């Protein structure tokens, strides 16, 4: 029902056409695209500095919008950024097709004409498109902060906000940065979310494999979880349907269930985990892997998004757990 400004600017959606199943979209407009008043380095209300999707499909568009923070309509925001959108579509029927056939190429056309060529975004280097180009440091207000080396594969702003709220100093580096040769002092490594097939991130996987030897805490989210698994010698595979919603139930190994926000099209093959690693979370809908952790070392990762934006905050304690490890 809410969260379209966050979803449309989520770097994990880079190159995709997004279909919203909730029927009414646009009813609260779009806030001003500006920096956070407390942290000038981060856009307020958004998950990156630009719209990341290639197109938007909805059922019922709200031409009238109302919110005290709204500066313009969803239509104006998309048009100003040259992102096509279409409404009046039977998104329930489209969802049934996608749930039967799986994710597929698609187009938004303005007429019957047009070529029949489709571009597979997974064949392009999507992570390099959304990653920072050179290191950037988010300073902490604490006198003696924990320092996190954040490997940016397309990090959401709210992940950075979560670390800053916990008085950490965040050193944001490009996706192909090698922590072993870092010029920065850091207490832990974080591997972010991001778009596309994790196996395309060969350089990042190799760097993380080396980083395990440092024995410093390592935390991965979404694509970061898949990269950690591949670095540990496990395998990943493409999901037929993917998980893209804000209400996915995940069961922790101790039996507790959490409602999570998710956006991924690939998963870790839990049958390939070595004896040093264990499955930590499982998706209650399809039994796919939702988290892994090392049995003896401070390495752990989750497939879902504990930072939310949008979605529930049930698993925000994972950030506290990482801070305590450092």
Tell me whether residue 153 is one of the annotated catalytic residues. no
Instruction: With residue 291 as reference, give the H or E element that holds it.
Output: strand 289-294
Give the C-alpha separation, 4 to 70, whole Å. Answer: 13
Give the C-alpha separation, 55 to 105, whole Å. Answer: 12
Coil, helix or strand at residue 263: strand
Residue 243's CB: how many other CB atoms inside 10 A?
A: 22
User: Among 208, 197, 200, 206, which Cα is nearest to 150's?
Assistant: 208
- C-beta of residue 204 within 8 angstroms of C-beta of residue 227: yes
Name the active-site residue from 243, 264, 294, 305: 305
Give the C-alpha separation, 201 to 153, whole Å. Answer: 9
Tell me whether residue 222 is one of the annotated catalytic residues. yes
In the DSSP assignment, the letter for residue 305 is B
**What sign does the CA torsion over 294, 197, 103, 54 have?**
positive
Give the C-alpha separation, 27 to 17, whole Å. Answer: 20
Tell me whether residue 305 is one of the annotated catalytic residues. yes
Give the C-alpha separation, 202 to 192, whole Å. Answer: 15
Name the active-site residue from 47, 222, 250, 264: 222
Residue tagged 């197109």 (tokens): 55
Residues classed as catalytic: 222, 305, 307
């Amino acid at each position: 029902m809410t969260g379209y400004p966050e979803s449309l600017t989520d770097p994990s959606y880079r190159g995709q056409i997004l279909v919203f199943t909730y029927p009414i979209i646009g009813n609260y407009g779009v806030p001003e695209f500006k920096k956070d008043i407390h942290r000038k380095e981060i856009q307020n209300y958004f998950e990156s500095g630009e719209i990341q999707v290639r197109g938007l499909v909805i059922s019922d568009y709200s031409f009238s919008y109302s919110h005290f923070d709204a500066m313009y309509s969803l239509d104006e925001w998309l048009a100003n950024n040259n992102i096509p959108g279409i409404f009046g579509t039977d998104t329930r029927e489209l969802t049934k097709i996608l749930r039967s056939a799986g994710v597929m190429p698609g187009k938004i056309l303005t007429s019957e004409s047009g070529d029949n060529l489709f571009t597979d975004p997974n064949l392009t280097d999507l992570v390099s498109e959304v990653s920072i180009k050179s290191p950037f440091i988010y300073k902490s207000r604490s006198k003696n902060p924990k320092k996190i080396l954040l490997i940016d594969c397309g990090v959401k702003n709210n992940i950075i906000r979560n670390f800053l709220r916990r008085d950490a100093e965040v050193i944001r580096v490009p996706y192909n940065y090698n922590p072993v040769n870092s010029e920065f002092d850091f207490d832990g490594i974080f591997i972010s979310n991001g778009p596309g097939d994790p196996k395309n991130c060969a350089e990042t996987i190799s760097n993380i494999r080396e980083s395990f030897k440092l024995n410093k805490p390592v935390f991965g989210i979404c694509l970061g979880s898949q990269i950690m698994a591949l670095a540990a010698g496990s395998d990943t595979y493409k999901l037929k349907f993917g998980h893209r919603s804000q209400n996915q139930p995940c069961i922790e190994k101790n039996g507790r269930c959490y409602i999570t926000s998710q956006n991924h099209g690939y998963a870790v093959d839990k049958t390939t985990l070595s004896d040093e690693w264990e499955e930590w979370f499982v998706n209650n809908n399809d039994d796919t892997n939702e988290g892994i952790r090392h049995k003896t070392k401070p390495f752990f990762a989750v497939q879902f998004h504990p930072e939310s934006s949008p979605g529930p905050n049930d698993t925000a304690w994972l950030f506290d757990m990482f801070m305590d490890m450092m």
